[in-house]
Amino acid sequence: MQVISKIGRQKNNPERYNIYLDDTYAFAVDESTLIRFGLTKGKVLEQFDIDEITYEDEISKAFNRALNFLSYQMRSEFEVKKKLLDAGFGESVVLEAIRKLEKLGFLNDETYSKALLETKKKTAKKGPRAIKQDLIKKGINKETQNKVLDSFTHKEQLALAMELAQKAIRANQNKTPVQIKQKVQDVLLRKGYSFSIANEILDQINLEREDDDWNEMIEVQGGKIWNKYASKLTGNDLRMKTKQALYQKGFPIEIIDRFLADK
């Protein structure tokens, strides 16, 4: 048995108190722990009392550390747990702190996931597959992932995908319809949309070109291709290689033939 001989408030942190047992410093506790265990001068403590008090104080410190971490932005349980473990708190202490955070409403993976979904939709126009990867990185379990992603409607996906498609079209006005469609598909797939969404978007966009547009494009692209192969090929081989490359880029045969005739 030991007796509390002195309790002193810390100068640098007035919410923590130094506990002295038999005139010797023993440990420090938060004010909440001090009140919870009724720590006063003259109180007798057994060793198991001390162990329980210090364990609860560790939980309190972990809880406060997590609250500070959460004050900057919403976090997932996985992120909070990693932060506390990296700070040196034990596994059991961290789990107790997390349970306390969840009980008080400071930590909720479903709420966090919904907020992440809305943020990724609005700021990056990401599709379900990309957002799912973001949720996985944050340690969100599969059930919560599916529940949250189910709220991302087909209509919403089409609207966001169309915005991305229109941006890609504007940035590639000097390309053929085939090239633009490939660019649009690449952007949508990279952003996490499905092939079916990409195909629906491609079916809706109109990329028809006038003859003047074709002539302008083939002068630029055809000229580069011709010069590229001209250092290695001549005559019919040069013509056929250029024709094949231009056809693959989506130029109509009549436009290609006209270009090659001028050559």
Unique residue bearing structure tokens 């720590």: 39
**CATH architecture assignment, domain 154-204:** Orthogonal Bundle (1.10)
Q: Which of 15, 7, 18, 11 is nearest to 41 (CA)?
A: 7
Say whether pLDDT at 242 is over 80.
yes
pLDDT digits (tens, 9 = 90+) for 144-184: 999 999 999 999 999 999 999 999 999 998 899 999 999 99
Residues facing 19 on adjacent strands:
7, 27
Supply the CATH classification number for the domain 109-149. 1.10.10
Burial of 231 (0-12, 13-18, 19+ CB in 10 A): exposed
For residues 172 and 110, is the Cβ–Cβ distance under 8 A?
no
2-103 and 109-149 share one fold? yes
For the chain, give every domain's residue range.
Answer: 2-103, 109-149, 154-204, 211-262
pTM of the predicted protein model: 0.78
Given a cut of 90, is residue 97 above it in pLDDT? Answer: yes
Mean pLDDT lowest among 55-64, 169-178, 194-203, 254-263? 254-263
Q: Per-residue pLDDT averaged across 43-69, rounded?
A: 95
CA atoms within 13 A on the CB side of 246: 30
Q: How many CA atoms are closer than 13 Å to the CA of 144, on its beta-carbon side? A: 19
Burial of residue 210, with CB atoms counted within 10 A of its CB: 0-12 exposed, 13-18 middle, 19 or more buried: exposed
Check pLDDT > 80 for residue 15.
Answer: yes
pLDDT for 1: 87
> Topology of 2-103 in CATH?
Arc Repressor Mutant, subunit A (1.10.10)
**Angle in degrees, 0-180, between the axes of helices 109-124 and 142-149, rounded to the nearest 10:** 50
